[in-house]
Structure 1
């Protein structure tokens, strides 16, 4: 004899969820960067969101920059975020490095004027291959420059200048006096506190 199949009724949990609009922090003009569903708004807190600079500003030349945000609080149906860091795409980094050049990576934790700590990773690419002593000196100069610049700026000013390329430009103009550079880019940042 065939057994009668017992059918369990499956609950559709999607109908129980509400949609929340995700917005960037004030320093990025509280732009809408997406929507997300959640059963309870408390479950959204801590959720990460990644968006490209092009989606935020409309500038196609900044397509390679990915900004990371984390939902900090929920007010009504709006999920407010905080900036947690940024990174550039690996294909963009690879496109800068050519044979016969040197890649100089400088990574340091800096403290801003208003006591925020951010880890910045700078990539400098030379025009010709540099000696290891020159690379070491260049790395030290970049790290010192980052610390000095951060101490003079607020958290918001430092984040904006590191994301939009102004800080990389300042580093380039100072560091190229030591050794001819092709490019300087802040390829990664991470907010520590």
Structure 2
């Protein structure tokens, strides 16, 4: 009786090499993390998330999650590009109270240098607002955001979104319509890059 031949299992884990993932220049080219890969080409288009606290050390921005995508690999370093951000849901829920209105105004904007982004600002009123007031506020926020984006480059816009400068500009513009408690840009996503 013939014995069954044992196949030798190839350990693919030993073939892998570790790569350091770096944030874009806009965020100081800090180390986000490390990842293993057999081939550097397999790293391309991988997505990585990091909080603002991890990149800047600022605990007050713990709730901001930044999204990056690996776009090039040189040696054992993988560089990334910014593809969007999001605010954690628990932070958004903590802002909303009973008797207030939540005004969402998602808008697609284009920067001075040709980038297209979808930006999602959120305004929270002090008291419940009428639907007509909410509609007017939404229109005002969208127009103001388009105007701001058209005057800024991609990097300036991203910096303004992540740091909250643009949200405060929107707040000062929209509070003329109805008293606001807070304005926050809760989400952004890069839709198109210039060719």
* TM category, shorter: over 0.9
Q: Which runs of 5+ in 1 are unaligned?
A: none
Q: TM-score scaled to structure 2, two decimals?
A: 0.95
Give the superposition deviation at 1:64. Answer: 0.6
Q: Distance in 2 between matches of 1:53 and 1:4?
A: 60
Q: Distance in 1 between matches of 2:7 and 2:52?
A: 47
Residue of structure 2 equivalent to 1:59: 58
The Cα RMSD (Å) is 1.3
Partner SS state of residue 99, structure 1? coil
Residue of structure 1 equivalent to 2:140: 141
- 1:9 and 2:22 correspond: no
Residue of structure 2 equivalent to 1:76: 75
Q: How does 1:1-193 map to 2 (within 5 A)?
A: 7-193=6-192
Q: Distance in 1 between matches of 2:26 and 2:61?
A: 18
Q: Distance in 1 between matches of 2:173 and 2:142?
A: 12
Q: 1:72-129: per-residue Cα shift (whole Å, max 9, x none)?
A: 0101111010100000111111111000000000000000011111100000000000
Q: TM-score scaled to structure 1, two decimals?
A: 0.96
Q: Distance in 1 between matches of 2:167 and 2:58?
A: 18
Give the superposition deviation at 1:7. Answer: 3.6
Q: Which runs of 5+ in 2 are unaligned?
A: none
The aligned length equals 192
Q: Distance in 2 between matches of 1:190 and 1:172?
A: 21
Q: Distance in 2 between matches of 1:81 and 1:160?
A: 16
Q: Distance in 2 between matches of 1:41 and 1:15?
A: 15
Q: Distance in 1 between matches of 2:145 and 2:45?
A: 29
Q: 1:48-72: per-residue Cα shift (whole Å, max 9, x none)?
A: 0000111111111111110000000
Give the superposition deviation at 1:4. Answer: 6.1
